[in-house]
Structure 1
Amino acid sequence: MSLPPARRPSVLRRTGAFCARHPVWVITAWLLVLAASIAGRHAVGAAYGDEVRLPGSQVSVGADLLERSDPAAGAPGGKVVFHVGSGKVSDHGAGLETTLDRLKDLPHVTTVAAPVTSADGATTYTAVSFDQKLKSLGHAYTERLDAATAPARDAGIGVGYGGDLHDIVRAPADDTASEAIGVSAALFVLLLAFGSVAAALMPLLTALISVGVGLGVVGIVAGTLTFATSAPTLATMIGLGVGIDYALFLITRFRQHLIDGHDPETAVARTTAVSGKAVLVAAVTVAVAMLSLYACGLTMIGRLGLAATVAVVVTALAALTLVPAAMGLVGRRIDVLRVRRRPVAETAGDHDGWHRYARRVARHPWRFFTAGCALVALCAIPLFSMRLGHIDDGAGPAGSTTRNAYDWIADADGPGFGPGVNGPFTVVVDLADATASADQVAGRLTDGLTETDGVARVTPPRPSQDGKILVTTVVPVTGPQSADTDALFATLTDTALPDTLQGTGATAHLTGSTAGQLEFRDTVTERLPVIIGIVLVAAFLLLTLVFRSLVIPLKAVVLNLLTTGASYGVLVAVFQWGWGDDLLGMSEPVPIESYVPMMMFAIVFGLSMDYEIFLLSRIAEEWHATHDNERAVGTGLSLTGRVITCAALIMTAVFLSFTGSPAVVVKMLALGLAVSVVLDATVVRLVLVPSLMFLMGRANWWLPGWLDRRLPQTTV
């Protein structure tokens, strides 16, 4: 009788074995790639910027009309604001006049407008225009601005930079301190989890190498594609979190195999074959979720997703090659320099606390399910009052030049001052098809806009030199991030401008920074359902393929939707309602930045799937071995309980460390991700998943036979 042919080891098993046999080669290769990627990033000159263009939108059309007919009106610029605490600016000698002369002599400055002074004389500002986009001048240009305004400061006059000058004076966010805090917290948790210095350092060092490579690759790509300024921070935050987590899962399984008596090479191969597959599925899920952001049609958002995807892909590759090499190199010496007597790996046996807890849930599944849903729903309640918007300079750090400029203009009295001056709308009227004269259109425009609720002032409409357009400025009563300014934008777009110009043949377009931000918000809101749909369908199909079940993927998708909703709710309560402003270094409540929910959904959904996949993978292993649902759930909880808890603590610590970032958007993303990880690792993993699996019983693993036959096998 002939024996059946031996089954060939999987690709992942062979990869793990190779890396364990040749650890020095693999580690050296990664260090060379790290050096090359860092050198490449510096060589190409990475470009970062937050400019968003929406071709065909009214803001874009208005900007194009300005550029063609009246370039001076559409030129990039901002405000230089002067203020004294008592008396008048004019009482401080010739400091202001000297500063204005020096501003005119700055390179790339085209005009310096006549100063506008408040009623009490304590505040003055001048509008400065440039011949190129302010972002392109770079932060180094701030030194020239400071040198030009030095005479005013020497005379005792405060100086602030307002409007779009924040693109120059805001230094790139330095999150080094946040990264150091996150790494330190991760090391502390790893020492508690593994009980030895060698085992604790391994996931940390491999994650740092992979993050360095990922940032290098992002920087190289940024030499061709312009990424948003927050892209490197986002890539670091996600790469560090998942990199440590992936290594933690692998090393925990590796130690268990060593405890079970396997030699190091076999232990590495077995670990990479099984846990490596879970890592691969988790990384693909995150990558698919992040790349789906391109479907929104907004280049800046899509490229943020691309930067995060690069970080995740690199960390996954490191987890499947660099981590096995490190495990092979260390071998049984993984427990040297112990800080705890007894090494800890995966499980304490069939009668440990996790199994007892699983039996308790099995006896009262409805009770646990209801309690878990109630807690998540409670966190999600604020979601229903979410207001998207743009965070203006009024929410900047107290004492910063941009915050000072904003406050001085907003608080001063008299024509040309008030909160709305910080975010005016530019109205461009196209006269190409007008049947009325320019004077008639200008008169109707002035009357109609002046009578519109929420408008503080309207400048007299003036024709361009070629006579093809009229240009006027509308100053709202309220500041740029106010809900009333949002309402005014909608009123002007939908009713005020069309009704005012009805019958004249002329058409009006709102443009400028504030209008662009609000139109971007509306576009993001409109396209968010598309992103949600793509991510849900992609995740469902991927999990169906991996777990050979329709119920488990459906459950995972629904539970992750609940987690995302709860995370949104916490963001609204903290940032929009102002709960915890002081803790996060915020000076006032702010709206939720328009693109944060879209980014949050993709990231949270991908990361939430990580723990779900690791837990379900172990449950599925036990189910296929015993076909005992209660035992499978208990064993899955027991085998993953300690490691998922530690991984969640690490990722939460990493994310929370970034709430100290000076960028409010980074604070939002960091807090939202931390909340989602906590909820997913506790409520979802410990309550909702086991209770639902007990309620569904054998139906958890239901897959129609015809579909099972048609689905490709996923053996890797």
Structure 2
Amino acid sequence: MSSVLYALGRWSYRSRGLVLAIWLAALVLVGGGAVAFNQGTENSFSIPGTESQEALDSLSHTFPQVSGTSAQIVVVAPEGEVVEQPAIETAVADGVEAMGAIDGVSAASDPFGGLVDGAVAKDGAAAVISVQIDGSVSTLSERLLDELSAEADALEAALPDGSRVAVGGEAYSVSLPTLTITEAVGVVIALIVLIVTFGSFLAAGLPLLTALLGVAISMAAIFVATIFTDISSTTPMLALMLGLAVGIDYALFIISRHREQVLGGMDPEESTARAVATAGSAVIFAGLTVIIALVGLFVAGIPFLTVMGLAAAVAVGIAVLIAVTLTPAMLGFAGARMGRSIGDGRRARKAAAAAEAASARGEEGAGTASARRAPEQGNRFFAGWVRAATKWPALTIVLVVAGLGVVSVPALDLRLALPDAGSQAESSPARQTYDLLAEEFGEGYNGPLIVTGTIIGSTDPLGLMDDLKAEIEALPGVASVPLATPNPTADTGIIQVVPEGAPDSQQTKDLVAEIRSLQGEWEDEYGVELRVTGFTAVGIDVSDRLGAALLPFGILVVGLSLILLTMVFRSVWVPIKATVGYLLSVGASFGVVAAVFEWGWMADALHVARVGPVISFMPIILMGVLFGLAMDYEVFLVSRIREEYVHGGDARAAIRKGFLGSGKVVTAAAIIMLAVFAAFVPEGDSNIKPIALGLAVGVFVDAFIVRMTLVPAVLQLLGDRAWWMPRWLDRLLPAFDVEGEGIAKELALADWAPGTAVAADGLALEGVYSGVSATVPSGGALVIQGEHRTGKSALLLTIAGRVQPTGGRLKVDGLALPERAPSVRGRVALVRMAGEADPVGAVRRALAERPRILAVDDLDHVSDPTTQAELRALLSPAEDLSIVVSCVETRPVDAVLPPGVRSTLLTTAPALETAR
């Protein structure tokens, strides 16, 4: 992959104008589509297949008057008075009539009409008008809500002085996420970090520019997707937060490597290609882990969560594509200026003056010595960090694990629920109504339950509903049962239940479970199968389903991390250590979120509107996103350490060198992520706030405590054992080159054997052949001769890119193997003559692919002179074709090869193990 990225980086650098034009055209096209076709986002949550959702769907057909959403208008009497007085009752009756006449309102109940119980507060100070609205929260029109609010204002004006009217309820329970100036603070902090990291305004501005372009495209794509599917209102904000964070970081990694190379004297174009090949490989791996984790949200089986994960994955995918295409293009526009830093001119003048003064005194090399000291001074902080982490590695491990374990303790109290008006800001009218209802009527009035069932078999539907009402009223946790009635056709009954606890309380959840546990008993006694539904019950079912999905999702993520990291680092202990570290980070994130939102620690400072359960999908979203980010830091830090170990062989020295080489960029990336996520906490939407806080904490813990402290300590403790891997597992798993080893080898061989079809030097395949060297010019032929079981066929398959050698150097058609094996396989056609009934047809089909090289195994199996002549005639016109054949006898080969083709004979000896 690094070779492909090398070519892509060079092409993007050279074709920078075209690349920029393509991305700008994509922005215009997708942005125009979003403006023209945006259908708006969905503001409700549901899960098909749950009891509450099925009951709600059934009610939409049998009892449509109660199947939609509802609003509540609270009327409060002047201080010291009661609502049951003629002036208030008359105004309320007129208001109820006006509200009932609004298009889209199916019913409005008069609290003084006698049809409902419990609509007047026990102290008589307040009454509530219930308004039933057709459709769900997501289908409500602004017009209807505005008309309802206008009628409420008219009612307040008609009431005696000192009276108050508040509008709220389920219809007003969902608030649309909005951006505030606070989120921009994260971008400003990111810019400052980039300036400090690069010491250049130009280098600092590029990651922000590319990230913002990627975010704009991904956001527009999400709104275009509303044509095809419902998308929750939280989805664009999550995609914005993730796309911005990873977009900046991915560009940072590539630009950082590029500047390092340019400052070392490398040509900007070559440096860009190499930066994309090396850092770009790690970016693609890191992006893939985030994308896989987000797409893996489908395991929860919840449609809106699956769409949310897919949308966020698209945002990350666009960030990756922009990083490996637009970033090198922008580096092309910058050219050699990317090697300049703030104050270069001033430093150059000072250095020249110092050199002139030193020359006058007869001194030499002062400036050079100063330049040599500068990098060491810049790395002094990170050198002290890694020294402290690895001095007593066992103690570091114990302190980190114990400390993060303590931070994780509050997670045991983490409760989940869907947001309602109670989670909105205290200044929100819906929140004020919510608090007023809780104060005057009890907390449960904000989340009534609906118990429904088919009663078509009953001969006394009214008596049946009264009996069921009495049964439910007797249950613990029930505050009141205001309504128990059949529908007009007497085939479906509903019972409205007001719990004692708040909608998101454990008490209400226990009541729902209690009612459901009695369903069998009531069915036997009354012949009615009852189900619990309503906004509160739907929220409980969504939370339960999400909670149940955490374990399988966690197993998926942990298993995935073990496999991916084993592929990358060719080690057993490194993936285990990385996965344990990820779990510690997740536990700490959950712990801090629970401490803030459940225990109330620093809740006021973080502007938490209401202490209580967090949004249901926070844990699974946080686990998925943090997994990808944790793998980012693991790859960028540990891959540098492994690179030093592979080159130097000293496991413990490699920790320090690798840490110094990657610590600065990992720190910068983590601070940027932390700033972007934290900016969504103080003024963020109530749905996003706990996710943003959890991600900010998770990034801090994972980058600075787990990856940059725990990881060096574990590697120091393990030493060489950290890089151990069983040979059978090494052969089983494919390799994933995130360090650019492939392109490094290919560049090292670039000047070796130019213009050849095949060049081999000391080529070996363990247990089969060894020490093979040969050179075949383009248009020539290589004849591999040997007895059976001497490795002749294996050698031919190696040259054809089908078998990976274990030693030596090999280039085929100018491409290094095994790094460019996929490309080689596309250029080398393979024909195996053993058992081939139609040799001429097989070669003709192979040549139809227009290969650069034709590899024919066991060519001497073609013994018929006529067939040999046909093959020679078939091969003769292909002057640029190079040929590689294997055989036991060379005479049939001589009869097939076209005249004038220069051939090289290579004889394979029996391998040692075979010779025995």
TM-score normalised according to structure 2 size: 0.73
| Corresponding residue of 1:60 | 53
Secondary structure, counterpart of 1:502 in structure 2: helix
Q: 1:569 to 1:452 in 2, by over 3 A?
A: same
**Percent of aligned positions that are identical:** 33
Residues 621-636 of structure 1 mapped to structure 2, 5 A cutoff: 621-636=643-658
Q: Which runs of 5 or more residues in structure 2 are unaligned? A: 112-118, 349-370, 743-916
The match for 2:128 among 125, 143, 153 is: 125
Matched-pair contact (CA < 8 Å) for 1:210–1:315: yes
Q: Secondary structure of the residue that 1:639 maps to in structure 2?
A: helix
Give, in whole Å, the separation in 2 of the partners of 1:281 and 1:460: 58
Cα deviation, residue 444, structure 1: 3.9
Aligned residue number for residue 163 of structure 1: 169
Alpha-carbon distance between aligned partners in 1 of 2:29 and 2:269, rounded to the nearest angstrom: 30
**CA 703–148 in structure 1, closer or farther in 2 if over 3 Å, else same:** same
Q: In the alignment, is the contact (CA less than 8 A) between 1:162 and 1:422 conserved in 2?
A: no
Amino acid paired to 1:39: G
Q: Match of 2:152? A: 149
Q: Which amino acid aligns with 2:501?
A: T
Q: Quick one: structure 1 residues 622 and 370, their matched pair in 2 at CA, closer, same or farther if it must change by over 3 Å? A: same
Partners of 1:145 and 1:173 lie apart in 2 by 23
Change over 3 Å in CA distance of 1:244–1:140 after alignment to 2: farther
Distance in 2 between residues matched to 1:705 and 1:19, nearest whole Å = 39
**Do the aligned partners of residues 531 and 433 (structure 1) sit closer, same or farther apart at CA in structure 2, a change above 3 Å counting?**
farther
Q: The residue matched to 2:67 in structure 1 has which SS?
A: coil
1:666-716 CA-to-partner distances (Å, cap 9, x unmatched) read 110110000001111211122110011112222222222222223234358
Supply the distance in 2 between the matched residues of 1:460 and 1:127 (Cα, whole angstroms).
12
In the other structure, the counterpart of 2:452 is 428
Distance, in Å, in 1 between the alignment partners of 2:385 and 2:294 is 35
Matching residue's letter, 2:182: S
Letter matched to residue 164 of structure 2:
G
Q: How does 1:59-458 map to 2 (within 5 A)?
A: 59-84=52-77, 86=79, 87-88=81-82, 96=92, 99-115=95-111, 116-139=119-142, 141-155=144-158, 157-166=163-172, 172-334=176-338, 338=342, 348=375, 352-412=380-440, 417-431=441-455, 438=461, 441-458=464-481
Cα RMSD of the aligned pairs, angstroms, is 2.6
Matched, 1:712 2:734: yes
Whether the 8 Å contact between 1:561 and 1:605 is mirrored in structure 2 is no
Alignment of 1:489 onto 2:512: yes
Superposed displacement of residue 359, structure 1: 4.2
Q: Is the 8 A contact 2:290 2:313 kept in 1?
A: yes
- C-alpha separation between the residues in 2 aligned to 1:430 and 1:651? 53
Offset at 1:625?
1.2
- Which secondary structure state, in structure 1, belongs to the residue aligned with residue 494 of structure 2? strand
Question: Contact between 2:96 and 2:109, CA under 8 Å: does it hold in 1?
Answer: no
Question: Where is the helix percentage greater, Structure 1 or Structure 2?
Answer: 1
Answering whether residue 31 of structure 2 is matched by residue 42 of structure 1, we say no
The aligned counterpart of 1:3 is none
- Output the amino acid matched with 1:248: L
Q: In structure 2, do the counterparts of structure 1 residues 342 and 120 end up closer, same or farther at CA, with 3 Å as the change threshold? A: farther
SS at match of 1:584: coil
Q: Which residue identity is paired with 1:158? A: R
1:449-502 CA distances to partner (integer Å, 9 max, x unpaired)? 12111111124532223333321111111221222112212222224x443443
Instruction: Give SS of 2:687's match.
Output: helix
Is 2:451–2:532's contact at 8 Å kept on the other side of the alignment?
Answer: yes
Query: Matches of 2:418 and 2:45 in 1, distance apart?
Result: 13
Q: Which amino acid aligns with 1:591?
A: P
Superposed displacement of residue 298, structure 1: 0.4
In structure 2, what residue type is equivalent to 1:22? Answer: S
Shift of residue 138, structure 1, vs aligned partner: 3.7
Out of 540, 562, 567, the residue aligned to residue 540 of structure 1 is 562
- Asked whether the 8 Å contact 2:44–2:137 carries over to 1, the reply is no
Task: Tell which has more relative contact order, 1 or 2 (C-alpha 8 A, sep 6+).
Answer: 1
Residues in 2 aligned to 1:632 and 1:433: alpha-carbon distance in whole angstroms = 79
Q: Distance in 1 between matches of 2:462 and 2:75?
A: 37
Give CA-to-partner distance per residue, 1:532-566, whole Å, 9 cap, x none: 11111222222222222222222111110110011
**C-alpha deviation, 1:335, in angstroms:** 5.6
Secondary structure of 1:82's counterpart equals strand
- CA 1:9/1:218 → structure 2, altered by over 3 Å: closer, same or farther? closer
SS in 2 for 1:582: coil
Distance 1:627 1:388, change over 3 A: same
Q: Could you tell me which amino acid in structure 1 is paired with residue 653 of structure 2?
A: R
How far did residue 154 of structure 1 move? 3.8
C-alpha distance in 1 between matches for 2:95 and 2:528: 42
Change beyond 3 A, Cα 1:177–1:46: farther
Q: Is the 8 A contact 1:98 1:151 kept in 2?
A: no
- Aligned: 1:604 with 2:610: no
User: What is the DSSP-based 3-state SS (H/G/I as helix, E as strand, rest coil) of the residue aligned with 2:288?
Assistant: helix
> Contact 2:37 / 2:224 at 8 angstroms: preserved in 1?
yes
Instruction: Give the AA of the match of 1:566.
Output: A
Give yes or no for contact 1:283–1:312 (8 Å, CA) kept in 2: yes
Compare CA radii of gyration and give the structure with the larger one. Answer: 2
Kindly report which structure 2 residues correspond to 1:543-692, keeping only aligned pairs within 5 A, or say none: 543-692=565-714
- Give the alignment's TM-score, normalised by structure 1: 0.92
After superposition, the Cα gap between the structure-2 partners of 1:151 and 1:337, relative to the gap in structure 1 and judged at 3 Å, is farther
Counterpart CA distance in 2 for 1:588 and 1:289 is: 30
Cα displacement (A) at 1:46: 3.6
Structure 1, unaligned runs of 5 or more:
1-7
Counterpart of 1:478 (choices 490, 501, 508) is: 501
Secondary structure at the aligned position of 1:126 is classed as strand
Conserved in 2, the CA contact under 8 Å of 1:196 and 1:339? no
Contact persistence 1:207–1:315 (CA under 8 A): yes
CA distance in 2 between counterparts of 1:102 and 1:289 reads 51
Change (3 A) 1:543 1:50: farther
CA gap of 1:657–1:139, structure 2 versus 1, over 3 A, is farther
Larger mean CA deviation between 608-617 and 151-160 belongs to: 151-160
- How far apart are 1:232 and its partner, in Å? 0.6
